[in-house]
Amino acid sequence: EVQLVESGGVLVEPGGSLRLSCAASGFTFSNAWMSWVRQAPGKGLEWVGRIKSKTDGGTTDYAAPVKGRFTISRDDSKNTLYLQMNSLKTEDTAVYYCTTGGRGGVGTSLADWGQGTLVTVSS
Partner 1 sequence: DIQMTQSPSSLSASVGDRVTITCRASQGISNYLAWYQQKPGKAPKLLIYAASTLQSGVPSRFSGSGSGTDFTLTISSLQPEDVATYYCQKYISAPFTFGPGAKVDIK
Residue 14 binds to partner 1 (criterion: CB under 8 A): no
CA 6/CA 23 separation, integer angstroms:
6
Pick the binder of partner 1 from 10, 11, 40, 111 (CB under 8 A). 111
- Exactly one of 20, 22, 83, 110 binds partner 1 (CB under 8 A); which one? 110
Pick one of 31, 73, 90, 109: the residue that binds partner 1 (CB under 8 A): 109
- Footprint on residues 19-48 left by partner 1 (CB under 8 A): 35, 37, 44-47
Q: Judged by CB under 8 A, which stretch of 20-28, 69-77, 78-86, 96-104 contacts partner 1?
A: 96-104
Residue numbers at the binding site for partner 1 (CB under 8 A): 35, 37, 44-47, 50, 61, 63-64, 97, 101-102, 104-105, 107-116
